[in-house]
Amino acid sequence: MAHAAVSEHHATPTWQGITTVKFAWWLFLASEVMFFAGLIAAYIVLRAGSPDWPIVSEELNVPLVAGNTLILIVSSVTMVQAYAAIEVGDQKKLRNMLLATAALGVIFLSIQGIEWSALLREGVTAQNSLFGASFYTLTGFHGAHVSGGVVGLVFVNLKALRGGYTQAAHEGVELMGLYWHFVDVVWIILFTIIYLI
């Protein structure tokens, strides 16, 4: 009994092929979904009960933000490309695609910023307009999550630069991807209920 075998798991534990960290990451994303669900539910109730909700196409720049939505979708594609790259061991493409994703994320945020300032210039604030308050809160929290994602992408890229990911071991890239897709899906829902409906 020289080496007390206290660990029964010499390999990383998995369940249905999913690692512990990835499983936990999904749980985290589930909780985030519920957070946005609360905000979205509030938005729907407030809008449905509001007799003078503004006509969205008059207040907001639907074409611009539709384009912005496309940018975010493209960033999800680049993220997938990054993952695909490291799956075959292409370090250079991994880093480039991560960078592209981050850049697109920054562009997304900038255009959101333009939306915000346009709305503010029109005199729609969080205080004087329920529509404004809902808009800024929903898109603000989403933007905060995108910002967090961009920071994450920077860290992942830095790790990639240090050679931290290999063809065999690149879970961090996958988790980053999952988070980024989550942020994208939330945006598609927000865009639909705020801009399109």
Q: Which residues bind other proteins (CB under 8 A)?
A: 2-9, 13-15, 20, 23-24, 27-28, 30-32, 34-39, 41-42, 45-46, 49-50, 52, 126-127, 129-130, 133-134, 137, 141
Residue closer to other proteins (CB basis): 107 or 178: 178
Q: What HEC string does the chain produce?
A: CCCCCCCCCCCCCEECCEEHHHHHHHHHHHHHHHHHHHHHHHHHHHHHCCCCCCCHHHHCCHHHHHHHHHHHHHHHHHHHHHHHHHHCCCHHHHHHHHHHHHHHHHHHHHHHHHHHHHHHHCCCCCCCCHHHHHHHHHHHHHHHHHHHHHHHHHHHHHHHHCCCCCCCCCHHHHHHHHHHHHHHHHHHHHHHHHHHC
Six-digit token string for 162:
């240090």
Residue closer to other proteins (CB basis): 17 or 163: 17
Q: State the minimum distance, in angstroms, from the CB of residue 8 to other proteins.
A: 3
Residue closer to other proteins (CB basis): 38 or 163: 38
Q: State the minimum distance, in angstroms, from the CB of residue 20 to other proteins.
A: 5
Q: State the minimum distance, in angstroms, from the CB of residue 38 to other proteins.
A: 3
Residue closer to other proteins (CB basis): 39 or 56: 39
Residue closer to other proteins (CB basis): 107 or 133: 133
Contact 186, 43 (CB under 8 A): no
Q: State the minimum distance, in angstroms, from the CB of residue 122 to other proteins.
A: 17
Q: State the minimum distance, in angstroms, from the CB of residue 14 to other proteins.
A: 7
Output the CA torsion 64→67→69→74 (10° steps): -150
Six-digit token string for 58:
């008059």
Q: State the minimum distance, in angstroms, from the CB of residue 165 to other proteins.
A: 21
Residue closer to other proteins (CB basis): 37 or 70: 37
